[in-house]
Structure 1
Amino acid sequence: MSDISSALTIPALLNDQAALGHHSAIVEGERTISYAELRSLVHEVSRAFLAHGVIHGDRVALWAPNRTEFILAMLGAQAIGASVVPLNTRYTGREAAEILDRSRASALVLADGFLGRSFSGMLTTALDADDAETPDLSNLRVIVNMDEVEAPGCLTWSEFLSAGATVQDETLQAALDAVHPDDVVDILYTSGTTGRPKGVMSAHRQTLGVAHAWVKGAQLSSDDRYAVVNPFFHGFGYKAGMITSLVAGATIYPVDVFEPEALLALIAQARISVLPGVPTIFTSLIDHPRRGDYDLSSLRFAIAGATAAPDSLFHDMVNVLGFRTVAQAYGLTECVVATLSRPGESLAHAAQTTGPAVENTELRIVDEHGADLPVDTDGEILIRGSNVMLGYFEDQAATDAVIDSDGWFHTGDVGRLDEHGCLKITDRIKDMFIVGGFNVYPAEIENVLRRHPAVNESAVVEVTDARLGHVGRAYVALLHDADPRPNSADLEAFCRERLANFKVPRDFIFVDDFPRNATGKIQKAELREAAAG
């Protein structure tokens, strides 16, 4: 029997893979959880959610790094038909509260104190702020800390689980049986070009479909040991990492914080075979002065995705780190995997293209009028298929703006198809850029800067960065009568209070005015040229 599950729901996936028995599902430090144990532990979490009033169709938010309890909390909610809403661990309290409000989450599971930050305290501060736009968290019934540490307003992990003992077996089973492949399994929030968070909805069948595409492209099996460095709160780490591993019966090694030498040691000690990530991860390993002290011969497969890669990276991943296969992929939050390098692809071609469309996915390259373009001609990338999102949560207008009447999702990205049907990304129509693997939307930063009492207008563009790929630069026009007039440090501090650190611009350039077109719109292309110069 194949170890690859064909399940279309999370509870069915857990049932399938429980048959793997003692085979390791998760290894974190000294703790190992088998596939048989995983199902039992997830069901324990499901009972706890039910005991706290979480029902089919509710939203459960997760605010934590990559760790075992994140996996258990996510699967435990999904197994009874709740949708998970992952929160970026770099969010400020205000950013997290806004998504909790917009999703109307009924439960929040967090890791209080991660990297010295009190998530519960940050939420309290955000809610206590004297602000007309204070988020409404009246739907939030329970907050759980993953650790056995007292935190204001939170249950400890053991307190949370103990409540599940009151839930009857028949109640749990009924909840598990009620989950359907078309039920919403996750809502991943993306700020978008307007700066207002939009919740990307996927069904169980879609998130598992993404995993199947990755399993096939990576030729993943139960023999693989998968170090998941990409965050579980991001589609890359969650769907292409955690869920993909479970579908294949592989072993997950969660990595909560990327530290190059610790990762080198993990690869050598655990014989890690699969390690996708953003280019920064691989360049850090390649350049590490103690790389030669570690045995990396187990490395088999990698994808360097989510941001621009140096030209030499793929060559060094094979010839320096020792990967046997290096691939590329293309996707967005709205369709986590659309293309993937072909098995057996040459290194040169894989470095230049993101591969053809995955199974059950179609691609088109069109001009500004929607007409199809020939091979090797740049145009907007359109995607249609079973893995494209259901839509934006409670935002039909935004959904209709990107998915047309024929079901084509308009990505806003520019690319071309070669003679093999492989996609090359060449530009972005959207302003969005990527900082170390995280999407950054200038509109969101500009909205924050607009709230500064001295700022009249701003425009944020990307500039290249050797380590992160890109970082932001803010061009700022102050009010003519601003008193006091802020400097760059003042604006940086203002942004850091309100934005995750990867969104904060690297520098601030003060201008009297901006280059504009005939209608007065800021010409960001000119600012990008100036920044590049």
Structure 2
Amino acid sequence: MASQPQHCAMIAEDGRRWTFAELDLARIDAARALIASGIKAGDRVSIWAQNNAEWVIAGLAIHSIGAALVPINTRMKGAEAGYILDKSQAKLLLCTGDFLGQHYPSLLGEHRPASLTDIIVMCSAREGDTDWASFIQRGAAISSDEVAQRSAALSADSVMDIMFTSGTTGKPKGVITHHGQNLKVVAEWCDRMALSPRDNYLIANPFFHAFGYKVGWLGGLLCGCTILPHAIFDAAGIIARIAEHQVSVLPGPPTIFISLLDDPALSGGDFSSLRATITGAAAVAPSLIERVRKDLGFDIVLTGYGLTETCGIVSLCDPGDSAETIVSTCGKPVPETEVRIVDSDNQPVAQGETGEIVVRGYNVMQGYLDNPAATAEAIDPDGWFHTGDVGLLDASGYIRITDRLKDMYICGGFNCYPAEIENIMAGHPAISQVAVVGVPDARMGEVGKAFVVAKPGQRIDEAELIIWCRDNMANYKAPRSIEQIEALPMNASGKVMKFELRTGS
């Protein structure tokens, strides 16, 4: 994992530390325990837990023996987790015990599928749970040579993980990806971020998402960084760890930086060590990028674009790109991949015209688990993956995303793309966050409704904001109604769950 075995690989929130040599031994011990538990190459092992050291050790162990890792969102309830465990036919679940006011084995309860033969509680175990120490002890009779043999049998085409889509628009689908394609994508991301053993990388992005897992702890370890898993996003806690451990790398969705910048502890924080960040997953306001640079002191601030179906990455900006490019685009497609913009007939459109973004290359998934129909719908006969995102390619070949196909609404015969409207509204001095959805209208078919979160100490007047919108965008784009809310409903990946906003409208 690193050319410096005594270099610090990981620091847990409770202060525990592992060198790369120690982490490798922990990986081998966990792999021995998995083999002793009957896990064979090709089996599926699921992790349902918050960011912690054991998650990393377990993930490495699962990879090492040729099993497929199946992460589960910690915000999911028992029925949702049970659905993923059943669909993936996972044999073993590694989960948290007490977390977020729930005992996760109990939360799964009656939703436990027959395929699941074992549950291991990695942390915060209750009496009666099989805890992490007991699990590790299982492997005592398994030799390290057997782990090494399993690892040697792996190839670039071995299944690395099955990650389920966020399910914001329907039942989650299992995305199958291989070791080779993931490692190649991760290496590209690490290169853009200039990661090195000198970096201390704090990872608040959840490990069940590619942002926290693939370009998170996996990328950090591959580059020899010291990684710092962080379980729950709390601005004050992150500010304290930045100062204590001289954190240099801190990626995240815009919501993370908005929370950090708005926290009272910011004024007393030491951010001198911060060097690089990348953000995405939602519209990024120019003012936010400016504040991230000025108030948090990052030298490298990038944006990127990716999906679960593309190993987490489609495009990235370069560190040398202008601020305007970083704010207004998602960068260029990563090398050895292609991006095209197509119309509703799957025909390429002219440069600068808007259409659906399609992707082809080594980063595209192998398919959806046990769902050939959905796979065929997503990947056309020529190998292009249809993202469902709307955007364009500019004259420099950079991607500009305008919206999701499913989010577009038609107002009086005009196509309205909420992301475009949100980007304009993000420039209003009183708005911290905004999400726009289309709602039924007897005369216009659909009209826009904006849900806004005010900046601290700011007041938003609905009538005044509607007038401001009409002054700053085409009349058909301007929302017809405004609702001020305390916070936008987000999934753990930082994406706004617009279906909840539509349901409540």
TM category, shorter: 0.7 to 0.9
Hey, what does 1:31 align to over in structure 2? Answer: 16
Verify: 1:356 aligned to 2:332, yes or no.
Answer: yes
Q: From 398, 415, 429, give the equivalent of 2:405.
A: 429
Q: Secondary structure at the match of 1:290?
A: helix
Change (3 A) 1:150 1:502: farther
Hey, what does 2:470 align to over in structure 1? Answer: none
Tell me how far 1:191 sits from its aligned partner.
5.3
- Structure 2 letter corresponding to 1:52: S
Mapped partners of 2:96, 2:498: distance in 1 = 22
Verify: 1:389 aligned to 2:374, yes or no.
Answer: no
Hey, what does 2:500 align to over in structure 1? Answer: 505
Q: Which runs of 5+ in 2 are unaligned?
A: 409-417, 420-434, 438-445, 456-495
Hey, what does 1:279 align to over in structure 2? Answer: 254
Verify: 1:20 aligned to 2:4, yes or no.
Answer: yes
Mapped partners of 2:127, 2:367: distance in 1 = 36
Mapped partners of 1:290, 1:236: distance in 2 = 26
- Quote the sequence identity (%): 40
- Structure 2 letter corresponding to 1:318: R
Hey, what does 1:96 align to over in structure 2? Answer: 81
Q: How does 1:518-533 map to 2 (within 5 A)?
A: none
Tell me how far 1:206 sits from its aligned partner.
1.6
Q: Secondary structure at the match of 2:306?
A: strand
Q: From 148, 168, 189, give the equivalent of 2:143.
A: 168
Tell me how far 1:172 sits from its aligned partner.
2.2
Change (3 A) 1:348 1:22: same
Mapped partners of 1:401, 1:151: distance in 2 = 47
Tell me how far 1:349 sits from its aligned partner.
1.3
- Structure 1 letter corresponding to 2:346: G
Q: Secondary structure at the match of 2:74?
A: coil
* TM score, norm. by length of structure 2: 0.81
Hey, what does 1:319 align to over in structure 2? Answer: 294
Is 191-200 or 280-289 further displaced after alignment?
191-200
- Structure 2 letter corresponding to 1:81: G
Q: From 86, 92, 96, give the equivalent of 1:111.
A: 96
Does the CA-based 8 Å contact 2:161-2:177 persist in structure 1?
Answer: yes
Q: From 13, 34, 41, give the equivalent of 1:49.
A: 34
Q: How does 1:201-216 map to 2 (within 5 A)?
A: 201-216=176-191
Tell me how far 1:310 sits from its aligned partner.
2.6
Q: How does 1:298-447 map to 2 (within 5 A)?
A: 298-335=273-310, 336-431=312-407
CA RMSD across the alignment: 2.5
Does the CA-based 8 Å contact 2:97-2:103 persist in structure 1?
Answer: yes
Change (3 A) 1:180 1:97: same
Tell me how far 1:503 sits from its aligned partner.
8.4
Q: Deviations over 1:462-508 (max 9, x none)?
A: 9544389xxxxxxxxxxxxxxxxxxxxxxxxxxxxxxxx97883685
Q: Deviations over 1:209-268 (max 9, x none)?
A: 221111111111111111111000011111111111012111111110111111111111
Tell me how far 1:284 sits from its aligned partner.
1.3
Verify: 1:145 aligned to 2:121, yes or no.
Answer: yes
Mapped partners of 1:215, 1:289: distance in 2 = 32
Q: Which runs of 5+ in 1 are unaligned?
A: 1-13, 128-134, 435-439, 443-458, 469-500, 510-530
Mapped partners of 1:464, 1:175: distance in 2 = 52
Hey, what does 1:481 align to over in structure 2? Answer: none
Mapped partners of 1:504, 1:414: distance in 2 = 18
Q: Secondary structure at the match of 2:402?
A: strand
Q: Secondary structure at the match of 2:264?
A: coil
Change (3 A) 1:249 1:311: same
Hey, what does 2:413 align to over in structure 1? Answer: none
Verify: 1:123 aligned to 2:123, yes or no.
Answer: no
Mapped partners of 2:299, 2:330: distance in 1 = 18
Mapped partners of 2:308, 2:283: distance in 1 = 17
Q: How does 1:169-184 map to 2 (within 5 A)?
A: 169-184=144-159
Mapped partners of 1:354, 1:467: distance in 2 = 26
Change (3 A) 1:230 1:36: same
Mapped partners of 2:20, 2:453: distance in 1 = 41
Change (3 A) 1:194 1:277: closer
Is 170-179 or 246-255 further displaced after alignment?
170-179
Change (3 A) 1:112 1:233: same
Tell me how far 1:31 sits from its aligned partner.
1.0
Change (3 A) 1:502 1:357: closer
Change (3 A) 1:165 1:288: same
Q: Secondary structure at the match of 2:349?
A: coil
> Structure 1 runs of 4+ off > 6 angstroms?
501-504
Number of residues of Structure 1 aligned to a counterpart in Structure 2: 430
Q: Deviations over 1:1-23 (max 9, x none)?
A: xxxxxxxxxxxxx4xx2x32111
Is 163-172 or 40-49 further displaced after alignment?
163-172
Change (3 A) 1:462 1:206: farther
Verify: 1:185 aligned to 2:160, yes or no.
Answer: yes
Change (3 A) 1:185 1:465: farther
